[in-house]
Structure 1
Amino acid sequence: MPEIPDLEAIRHYLMPRLEGLTIERTNAPIPWLIRTGAEDFGSLQGHQFGEIHRLGKFLLFFVDDGRILVVNPMLTGRFHWVEADAKKPGMLGVVIGFD
């Protein structure tokens, strides 16, 4: 499980990269990871992330329509930032593609 300094490092890495990008694709290869359902996750398409905050062991991704995507990194806490044409890491739980 990532510790708080790790989560802060992830937050500081992702915030300048995500802020203002439009979400073009969402995919949940492991659907039970999305607690609100795949349809709600898919409705993020066309929206943008704003700020990212940390609340305890959770990362909060603020969306431009007022929603908040709450991520609990759980045991491994891996985030991969890759270009669209790059080889994807082996096992992916959730994928979000940007413009």
Structure 2
Amino acid sequence: MNSMYNNIKLVEGIYSPINSADVLLSLIADKIKFHNLQILSSKNEDDPNVIHAKKRIAELKESRKLITNLIIHARNQNFHMKIDGTVNIELFKPMKI
């Protein structure tokens, strides 16, 4: 691993609406679960990590609604869905406060 920045292809392909739902909604559910665990593990509601986790959960729920609507539309119109999901990872050292 020579680079401090990497792109990893997480999802790639053409899927039926039902398979798209499995892939996309599972990813979102796992991220919501991750953030809920962060909230539960904190003892302080004012913790910046808790505030961020709550914000991300709200954003992910909105994304889930959008994706669900796209899947329903694709199913109703006999479409398939092309999904291309890349994760960008950058290594860095955090600044000390």
TM-score normalized with structure 2 length: 0.30
Structure showing the higher strand proportion among its residues = 1
User: Which has more radius of gyration?
Assistant: 2
Structure showing the higher helix proportion among its residues = 2
